[in-house]
Amino acid sequence: MQTSENILELKGVKTYFSTTKGVVKAVDDISFSIGRGEIVGLVGESGSGKSMTSLSIMGLVPQPAGKTVAGEILFHGEDLLKKNDEQMRQIRGDKISMILQDPMVSLNQILSVKYQIGEVFRYHDKSILGSLKEMCIGVLKKVKVPSPELRVNDYPFQFSGGMCQRTIIGMGIANGPDLLIADEPTTALDVTIQAQVLQLMKQVQEETNAAILMITHDLGTVAQLCTRVLVMYAGRIIEKAPVNTFYKNPSHPYAIGLIKSVPVLGRKSDRLYSIEGQPPNLLNPPTGCRFAARCEQAMPICTQEYPPEVSLEADHQVSCWLFAEKGEQ
């Protein structure tokens, strides 16, 4: 449930990339908020702009080609887009942390686990709070790495994939962030480890009351972990809803297609459902609804104007002409 205290609020954020072929509108006018203690899922297929949204929040959009050109990213009411590099460096890894997809790549294989966890404390001048080694062991204990007193001296290549991801999560929460951004944190792990990592993230959220933005293409992860879901398509958010509402009453044709394409154990059918067609080229996105070329319910208005965001019920908004006045006409 969205709480009254918004930790993060994005208003009309646009992140564009200049290329030799033109401007790619990777994130194009998105707005949403996250309250304290919420776990919000940002879902969509590859290339929909999910990861660019997280990099925009972190101030890590690849430069010089990429830039957040418009909007506000308010963290505790302060616009992160107005912070300079040094101010952002102080926020990253302290008040906002990020967990990346592949733990084997996120950790440096030739530096010890102790060194890499310690770096999080050293960088933010928190090593003075106690013995660095003890603090690193404390982090490994928190994320349930077995025998942390011994394993703290190991190197990442001596850890399993699950232990590496636990270590990354531990580094993410080491300084007690208010917001944790997890970008596909279980994609590189096998299924049993995925379940453990998701459970750990939930536990971390309950213990720290941090807000979590969970970026994923896996609707199962969203159902297990999140309180609210944002569906992204071709650089825009097309549906926002509490998780229960979303699974009971998905409304945007793309969101309905996403749910239909999840395989269900025991359901017999010759073919798995898939949404036909491809997302539009973001170099030159269509003027109207960006899903129109793939939508079975498209109407003439859909290709002429972008649909407005309509509230279907509290906390449930959808951008589709099927629910807007002109579409009804």
Residues that bind ligand SF4 (CB under 6 A): 252-253, 289, 291-292, 295, 297-299, 302, 307, 320-322
**Separation of alpha carbons 296 and 291, rounded Å:** 10
Give SS3 for 180.
strand
Minimum CB separation of residue 250 from ligand SF4 in Å reads 12
**Separation of alpha carbons 309 and 180, rounded Å:** 27
Residue number with CB closer to ligand SF4 (107 or 302): 302
Of the candidates 134, 89, 91, the one whose C-alpha atom is nearest the C-alpha of residue 114 is 134
Q: CB of 193 within 8 A of CB of 144?
A: no
User: At a CB cut-off of 8 Å and minimum separation 6, what does 258 contact?
Assistant: 43, 219, 231, 250, 275
Minimum CB separation of residue 320 from ligand SF4 in Å reads 3
Minimum CB separation of residue 95 from ligand SF4 in Å reads 37
**How many alpha carbons fall within 13 Å on the CB side of residue 287?**
5
132-142 helix and 113-123 helix, angle to the nearest 10 degrees: 110
Residue number with CB closer to ligand SF4 (135 or 232): 232
Residue number with CB closer to ligand SF4 (25 or 142): 25
| Beta bridge partners of residue 155, listed in sequence order | none
Minimum CB separation of residue 31 from ligand SF4 in Å reads 18
Minimum CB separation of residue 253 from ligand SF4 in Å reads 4
Residue number with CB closer to ligand SF4 (142 or 252): 252
Minimum CB separation of residue 236 from ligand SF4 in Å reads 11
Residue number with CB closer to ligand SF4 (177 or 279): 279
Give SS3 for 133.
helix
Residue number with CB closer to ligand SF4 (183 or 239): 239
